[in-house]
Amino acid sequence: MSHLLSISLGPVQDFIAAARRTADLYAGSQILQELSKHAAQFLHNKGAQLIFPADPNADGANKILAEVKDDPKQLAVETKKAVQERLLRLWDETIRKLPAEQRNLIDQARAQEQLGRFLEFYAAWAPLPKKEAYKEARLQVERLLAGRKALRDFAPTQQHDAGVPKSPLDPSWAAVIDPRQWATASIRLADGSHRPLRIKPTEHLDAISLFKRCYGVLNSDKVVDTRTMARRSWRPEAEPDERYGEDDDHIPEPQPYLAILVADGDRMGELIARQDDPDAHRGLSKTLDDFAKEARTIVPKHRGFMVYSGGDDVLALLPVNQAIACAKELSEAFRHRVKGTLSAGVAIVHYREPLSVSLQNARDAEKAAKNGGRNALAVALHTRGGSPVTVVQPWNELSWDELLEAYQNRQITRGFAHELRDLVQEWQDDMRADYLHKEALRVLARKEAHDLRIPAPTSDTPTYRKALLRFVDQLIIARFLSGIREEEHAGKSA
């Protein structure tokens, strides 16, 4: 009899977010993709008929669903072993490109302990007596998998690390290197040249972080760092190469912010649950893969860097002034292809902010879009200091373009938002809302952007004041999104 076999690999978010450099981030998501793909291919070669992903060569997805003829329990065991071996092989292949004297400085025993314990693998299976029973069987297997994942079993770790500093990226792991011996370490690229790993003297990397660093540097021709991304808002052609050797400098960027975009499909579980048979589900898998592929062309078009795109998930870095346009295009593509809606979060962050924190900001923004009713875009501004500001709007009510244009054409400056805010804050709740609107228009009349639309009152004054304060938030965010270089009198920014 056939079975449905469902597999989930991890860790995902924590693993990807444990990154200091963009290359680490990229490496994390690539390694995870590589392992998932290996699991899918392994099952495919064992005669399993893949459902999600439908194509064994598709990228992304830490989740696999397949129809299998053999004993599913045995297959799960074998797949787990195959993925584990693949991880060790990938580590070997990567580390082998380090010079021998460097490689010998790695605490191999501890590294093996960490690599052996790092992967999470969960599997569940349910009988599939006939195609018509697919809907129920799929529901059964997914619920079983969720029930199995309630227990995240782990064995005690033996890293023999008393006296050894812990990894700054994941405190579950102790360092496998002494970073002071790695200051000048480099790795050999395919063309025979060497590229520095740039491990700082305080970076006590564990095996997984070291793996990511090496993997990331080997692929650094594909990676755009946060600083270059910030630069691209005023110099779209900027490339990472130009700033080699600049890493340690303290030259301030005239516009030091970049955007991180996180998006995923709304109510995907319900959409999947509507698929009546394996072939319909395969069709959906393919559609999602097509979207992921299209997303991979949309992001670079906006001078962005795609960190991860698989299924309905997107994670990308973008120049601030491209973020809205790119998000809109992704939403359109999703609507067009998948016939569903997308929720996206964009966090505007400083390029020097720790990447893990910035990434969390972007995920929180995406959550805000979901909580704001889905099918929406949330934009969150995180300046260095000051509390974050978030604005959520449904895709069909976005009103960013007008504001961005006004800033880009220098018709308004940052002072306007603050003038308006002072006005709203001074206005008492027992004063008339329409007068407040008129007063706001009078403030605007002194600027060049006369035709900017300031929201008009729809009900009482307290409500209107709240609406205007949201508009002020949007104005403040829009100045950052416009990507204009810092005006004079820097230091007074919002």
Per CB under 8 A, residues contacting another protein are 1, 3, 11, 14, 20, 72-73, 76-77, 80, 121-127, 139-148, 150-157, 159-169, 171-174, 200-204, 248, 250, 269, 273, 352-354, 356-357, 384-385
170 or 289: whose CB is closer to another protein?
170
CB 123 within 8 A of CB 5: yes
Beta carbon of residue 100, minimum distance to another protein (angstroms, whole number): 26
Where on the phi/psi map is residue 41: left (φ > 0), alpha (ψ -120 to 50), or beta?
Answer: alpha
6: its two tokens: 């469902």
57 or 74: whose CB is closer to another protein?
74
CB 113 within 8 A of CB 69: no
Nearest 5°: the CA angle 449, 454, 459 is 170
CB 483 within 8 A of CB 255: yes
**How far, CA to CA in Å, does 157 sit from each of 87, 120, 170?**
19, 14, 14
249: its two tokens: 């400098």
The DSSP 8-state label assigned to residue 166 in this structure reads B
DSSP sequence for 215-277: HHHHTGGG---HHHHHHTTT-TT--GGGGTT-TT--PPPSS-EEEEEEEEETTHHHHHHT--S
Closest CA to 13 of 427, 307, 228: 307
CB 314 within 8 A of CB 262: yes
3-state secondary structure at position 44: helix
Pairing of strands 2-10, 257-265: unpaired
**Distance, CA of 333 to CA of 298 (rounded, Å):** 9
24: its two tokens: 């680490």
Helix or strand run (H / E) with residue 10: strand 2-10
Beta carbon of residue 213, minimum distance to another protein (angstroms, whole number): 12
Strand partners, 258: 319, 349
**Distance, CA of 182 to CA of 200 (rounded, Å):** 8
Long-range contacts of 394-403 (CB under 8 A, 24+ apart): 395/328, 395/331, 395/341, 395/342, 398/324, 398/328, 399/453, 399/474, 400/324, 400/474, 400/478, 400/481, 401/324, 402/452, 402/453, 403/452, 403/474, 403/475, 403/478, 403/482
**How far, CA to CA in Å, does 260 sit from each of 299, 309, 399?**
12, 14, 20
CB 229 within 8 A of CB 354: no
364: its two tokens: 């929180």
